[in-house]
Amino acid sequence: MANHNLVSQNKIDSTLFYYKAITELKDVNYIGKSFEFFNKKAEQRLLVGDTVKSAYYLELIALGQFKMGFPYESEVASVKALKLLDLVTNPSRNNDAKGRLSNQLGMVYRRLEDFENARRYYNQALDLNKETEGRIAIITNIGNTYADQNNFQKAADILVSFYDDAVALKTSKIKATYFDNFGYFNLKINNSRALKEMEAALEMRLELGGLSGLFSSYRHLALFYYQKGNKTKARYFANKATSVSNRIQTPAYQLEALALKLEFENNPDFGRYIDLNKQLISEKQLRENKFAAIKYNLIRNEQLLEENETKLLVSEFEKEKEETYKWLYLTLWILVILLSTLIFFTLRIRHREDRVREVYDTEKRISKKVHDEVANDVYQVMTRLQYEENSQKEELLDELEHIYNKTRDISRESGSIDLESDFSFVLNDLLLVYETDDLVIITRGLKDVNWDTVSELKKTTIYRVLQELMTNMKKHSEATLVSISFQKNKNFLDINYMDNGVGAELNRLGGLENVETRIHALKGTVIFSTKIGNGFKVKARI
């Protein structure tokens, strides 16, 4: 158990050791081992699907390569890390890393003097970074691209807009870099605040102890005093810069420190040498850039060729899929049409059967009614004519009149309805038939309804329902008063029926069953309410 803890502790120590080797650049001999260490860790994290951590290790490698003066290798590592982060679907997990990598690419392209691309990536990093310190670092880098192009006024203007935010920061490498660069830019435009800003930066860097930062501060102060004519202080800070460059042990820093000291000797041949050397380096860099551009374009052309081939294959596949879908949709449409036709004719046949059954039921009902109410009465009258005296002719005539009235009522119940005339008059005529000296019928709202807006089917149902109710009342209720009210309520018509008859136990057979069936057929509602000795009520909504 103790051995495992020791191994775990060693792994943590190794990671921290190589991390500091890159970020602090204290011993150049360990940089190569740091690259190997973090490259292996990046591959291990990628194998288990941890793309965020793998990208982080590649980011460390890119930073170290840049510090060692390998901009192209740093560019490759940075782009590889960004591609890994593009695979992460949750932006909150990779925005910070993308911002740092965009800033790293900005530094790479600045080193390669591709200032347009440098500023593009710096601005991309600025959009992704919401922390004040991070934004100060990026703004400082953007200012440096203009300084590289000798546009020091633009560089100073960009930095001064963030001055208050920089002052509010705690002491850090980023804050020190900001004030050192801001002071240097002001030196170049002869602004008196230059020395104050650079001295503040040096004080912070002495507290922090970073070698590369100290080198920059000493170099800028040497240039300041040289420009002001104080050669003693200029040589003092130049010697400080040389001492730091020897501790860093990086040729780039050592060469820059040597060039700084020689520049102060005012040797015209040396000045000529420096200019020619810069020109040589610039031409070499342009050739390397050109080669890199050619290589990049070649790779890009291959990618475009692959993309075009893929698009062609996808296009052909889409065409085949579209053709398949076309036939599928056509088949489905044919099936839908055939099924719709089948359903239509099935419903039509069923409707025809229902109509035939309805006619049959109606004929059966009328036949039964004629048999029960008319035929039996006629038979009784015929029997009495055979056996009774002529003195009873008056009584027989009354019975024949009664039979006639029954026949007329049955005819009216089954006869056609006048739907063309004013329907309020049609209903009024229907109700008047049932009114007698002993029965008063009261209607309310009958003429208030706009019957033109009511469909013929609803009118027919209303007519038959009232007919059934009035017939039922006449046969069973012994009522002397009937009240019927009509009220239009949006898309519905409310009908309330009430009589003061003897009432009865509810029995929905016969007429009441017909009323309920007719109303329910129109998706309406009906409520019957009655008690013995307490009349009969109906509430219907159609």
DSSP string over 426-486 = HHHHHHHHH-BTTBEEEEESTTTS-GGGS-HHHHHHHHHHHHHHHHHHHHHT--SEEEEEE
Question: Closest Cα to residue 186, out of 212, 160, 162?
Answer: 160
Pick the CATH number of 420-541 from 3.40.50.300, 3.30.565.10, 1.10.4160.10, 3.40.50.1000: 3.30.565.10
Per DSSP, what are the bridge partners of residue 482?
A: 441, 499
Q: What angle do CA 489, 491, 497 make, to 5 degrees?
A: 50
What residue spans define the domains of the chain? 2-189+270-306, 210-266, 420-541
- For residue 267, what are its two tokens? 């040797």
Give the whole-angstrom CA distance, residue 294 versus residue 299.
Answer: 9
Please give the pLDDT value at position 508. Answer: 56
Give the whole-angstrom CA distance, residue 35 versus residue 58.
Answer: 9
Per DSSP, what are the bridge partners of residue 483?
A: 442, 498
Give the whole-angstrom CA distance, residue 263 versus residue 33.
Answer: 36
Q: Which residues of 93-104 are buried (b: 16+ CB within 10 A; e: fewer)?
A: ebbebbbbbbbb
- For residue 118, what are its two tokens? 């440098």
User: Which residues 6+ apart lie within 8 Å of 495 measured at CB?
Assistant: 462, 465, 466, 484, 485, 486, 538, 539, 540, 541, 542
Please give the pLDDT value at position 258. Answer: 82
Q: What is the mean pLDDT of each run of 10 residues along the chain (542 residues)?
A: 40 76 75 87 89 90 86 88 84 80 90 90 90 92 93 93 92 92 92 92 91 91 90 90 86 80 70 62 57 46 61 71 82 88 80 53 60 63 62 64 63 68 89 88 91 88 90 87 91 91 71 84 89 88 90
Of the chain, the end-to-end C-alpha distance in Å amounts to 87
Residues 82, 93 contacting (CB under 8 angstroms)? no
Q: Which fold has domain 2-189+270-306?
A: 1.25.40
Give the whole-angstrom CA distance, residue 538 versus residue 496.
Answer: 6
Please give the pLDDT value at position 183. Answer: 93
- For residue 286, what are its two tokens? 């342009």
Please give the pLDDT value at position 302. Answer: 59
Please give the pLDDT value at position 531. Answer: 82
User: Which residues 6+ apart lie within 8 Å of 156 measured at CB?
Assistant: 143, 182, 185, 186, 189, 191
Please give the pLDDT value at position 486. Answer: 94
Residues 104, 62 contacting (CB under 8 angstroms)? yes
| Alpha-carbon separation of residue 199 from 30, 176, 238, 463, 515 (angstroms) | 32, 10, 15, 107, 105
| Alpha-carbon separation of residue 316 from 234, 307, 309, 321 (angstroms) | 72, 14, 11, 9
